[in-house]
Amino acid sequence: MAWDWMKPALLDLSRQLTDRDLEFVIRATSSRRTDYDRIREIVRDKPDFLEVLLEDDRVFQKMASDDDVMLKVSPQLLFAVLLRRARRLLKQASFTMEPRPEGDVPVFDASKAAQLVEQPRVLDYLASMLASFVRTESRTFLVRHGAVYRRRVFNDMNVDDLLSAAELLDPPQRFPIYKRVADVSLFMVGIFPDHVSGRRSAGRSWWSAVARSQRFARDQQAYAEIGTEFYHRAAEDEAARQSGLADVMVTLGDHFMLAAKPLNLLARDLIPMRRFAWFGAGPASPASP
């Protein structure tokens, strides 16, 4: 059973960005030099320099003004820049808005949320996580029931499908599934808080499709409980230590709702309508067992 998100995660951002990504950033920030290949080599070798460029207003403005930006840069770069902008806004704010069924409620935790994503590994993990939801998939596998094999469709946005998939794997193979269950929970609470809180105005058709794929309806609290539990389960797995993700998993498990705050801000203020076009639009992909 293999989805792209089951591959080992990389938290070194400079290794994840493509040459086209770096050229996009360089062209947005360099008005005089044209030796882009040379600058690209320098940027790859200097993470601190790359960080300065990703924080540059010109990069954000170029992305924000381009309706086709998703076709020009990788999702990894896109969300790395957007989350850094969300971090800046959190630093400037005194409170965040927490979605509730009756309406948004101010919570004075903006500084704590900013401190959480001040940790580069946490911020870059969240960017990778968001990138993994740009294209979601359903895959068909043969599952054995006694002497009979039956076809079973697993959707990688469906918590129930993922939990069922984990049961088919030996314990040493479950880490990516545990991580994905937690990631789906954080994604739903962070990017679509209006829907999991019970307020479903915009993007109704998108939400209806997702909701129909879930066997059990869940609200924000339920997703938070699942996300917290499965980030901790993932952190305890030996694969988390080997991949260098154990500390990130612990942090997200310990501060699940706080980790959702930069995603809430991104969804509400930076990509309120684009989120419906960017996430989950990929076609289902059948697979062999």
| Residue-by-residue DSSP string for 95-132 | -EEEP-TT--EEES-HHHHHHHHTSHHHHHHHHHHHHH
CA distance 135 to 281: 6
Structural domain spans, the chain: 4-17+74-278
Percent of the chain scored above 90 by pLDDT? 59
pLDDT tier, 33 (very low <50, low <70, confident <90, very high otherwise): confident
Mean pLDDT score across all residues of the chain: 85
Q: Please report the pLDDT score of residue 199 as a whole number.
A: 58
Given a cut of 70, whether residue 72 has pLDDT beyond it is yes
Structure confidence by residue, pLDDT tens digits, 178-200: 999 999 999 999 999 988 866 55
Given a cut of 50, whether residue 287 has pLDDT beyond it is no
The mean pLDDT of 117-144, rounded to a whole number, is 86
Q: Please report the pLDDT score of residue 288 as a whole number.
A: 33
The mean pLDDT of 245-269, rounded to a whole number, is 97
Tell me which of 92-101, 239-248, 256-265 is least confident: 92-101
Predicted structure pTM score? 0.86
At position 110, the amino acid (one-letter code) is A
Question: Of 220, 227, 230, 228, which is closest to residue 264 (Cα–Cα)?
Answer: 220
